[in-house]
Structure 1
């Protein structure tokens, strides 16, 4: 009798031992971006077939409302996680449920998903559970810097960015890597739970040449915007604080130059070597007035590339020529609504992921007038979903300059920057400097720099074109002529500030 009892106890002990297990999860928290897919690893040790067990993933104090419940071969999901949660493999070597892998996959992450998740596994005579912490983050848009002259001669630099979670840290730095103290920081939170940040600081021309504003998360991820302080034009006619200041100073400079020229002309006979000296003085002044702020188009054309429209990624609205160089709206196209037709975007067949690349676009076909509606820039490869303006942002992989008829010229930065271009460009040059993270626009016939957008490119980008609607002239991608070597090189410089709005796309 005693032997029977001992045998029964041993059998029962062996049975319990065979059914005991431990739930294993990572020690560190899991960090994932908003909108991404994440795996919360959880597995049974020693490995055991989990198909016959009950698996329950739930958040604190919500055992009876599990995110996902696996029971008797069926899966039940909480309403807020419906079609977003599933069981998955925690590694490529995993054998799945049969091997005891009960990891949870969450798709289309939201900020509200940030929480602790408990992995609970139970059998007939054993159960165990462990907690996995999920941290959700959102990397905001690249900071955009805007200068505003102050009465004391300094410049107030404003730095704005949106789409962050949690609140980012803000830091200012000069070109000498000197940390600057911000004048202030304000934060606001939108209905989507994400933060918008506005910081500002005041500097003088002697403080630095290049100023940067960085926003970063505790994870180490950050975005940076830069502004060339020395390139800021203080004689800005749009300065509402004193609309007569710029014209007055310009008139004063012209008067002084005129007076100097008059004096040189009047007393030219008293100067030694008068003929040669007169020619040098007069020509020198004339050359300076004409070429100040100009760019060397021949130098830009050394980086010229041939661009054609990619027919495979073409919206049915645009019409493209056989050589894929001319684009305009199709005759049968009907605008979907009022405003600029952003859906008419066409993209270049060429992709760039390094180096400098230059191309030119003709915006007039005589005798027709210059186009009033167009959009020209670059887009990240694979992000060709042009529906409306809200979808075409630097954080989404788009950078462009737009001409919207009576609404003027503007960029797609956040907020957009409006420009006054006179005369209206008839031929636009575009220089993509991938490595420096700059996209520059030039008015070719006027040999003028229009605008430079500063960002951080990741992955390959392609040229982007939109012909607009209603113009007689089409948008024509030109074959740049061979550059002509000049004995005196004029550096490619800009008297316009850099727009640091774009971004490293992730």
Structure 2
């Protein structure tokens, strides 16, 4: 009987043992878009490789930010943190899991990431849990000051700034450092939770000559704009010299506008001729037959780098198929240039060929996609004007009813008939050529010529709203070819599109 009691007591002691989990006492502060590490560790140090490590938000235990169990990270995860969370070292001196370091790394921070995070660690007979706070901030734009002249030698100054989080404070000062009283301040929260601020004040020359508006989150985190009001304040109707100055200024502005209009007209006329010439060359390019067998001699296997794909893309387990997430809501009109994925393979020389399927069986071809190459260190942006060859982007884009385009200068839209169902891409790095082919029709579409440098990786964008995904195809392994000394397109009557790139690419 005594032995049974001892066994039960031992069991009770074992099941009640708890791990001591430690987190920083103060909140962690990080900016929108940045990467942060939430430190959490076991004290005294204990090997955590065989333990369960669960990071989760408030009341979301079964839908964790990250779950590590059975020696690996599990696929059970809150969707908004997929491809953004991982285990990391809390310091350079940390020994990682072997020393009980179970810290969480979060990338591409959003406003919605702010709040409580729970660090939960459990073993066979013990567990421990602590919570910590992550505060998200965003430093907005520099204030823009706009004056409006009033009667009596006074001027109303408006101060506007956007992209802040949380709500910032606004202060007005004179050139002597004296605090000016604002007429009012308003804050507006956008759909992305970012805050815009608008403040205004009324001053005269007796109050200040230089007026400054500062928008800040806390000491050291501020943006400031200044305005000299000396030339703005009206001196009254009795000042005849002011009238003549105004008339002279009006005449000068009209003359400058006329000159600018003449220059703009000539430039536009020249640009129109250039666009028509480029478009004619593009249309002539879509006529050449292709030797598919010769191209596939340079076939390479391409897979998607999950770590660098956009969080709103769904990528298959084999990293070959991608499409937009049905829940993804575009933030503006036009093609979603930022919804990109990179290839995991980089190229610094030679010829490399791959094919992309743009149509599923019994479905029409994709209307929206962007395929090409990009310098490895570059990131896509929503601004299409930034996707230039000088910035390290070369691609062919299908923009639905708006047709097709490449990043030529100027950008030209054109049509391709029929719409490609399978697209072939040939990168000839050494000869500076990126070529596109309609594999189904066995036609060469066009070639972009440019001077390449650095490591190039394949660039993919499946667009939004199509039934068909974008699929990278597995091609037959090529036989060892004899490398010709001339570009692969030299024997074809291909029309090349010269894209100017800066020498320091």
Query: Normalising by the residue count of structure 1, what TM-score does the alignment of the two structures yield?
Result: 0.46
* TM-score, normalised relative to structure 2: 0.46
Task: Name the structure, 1 or 2, with higher relative contact order (CA <8 Å, separation 6+).
Answer: 1
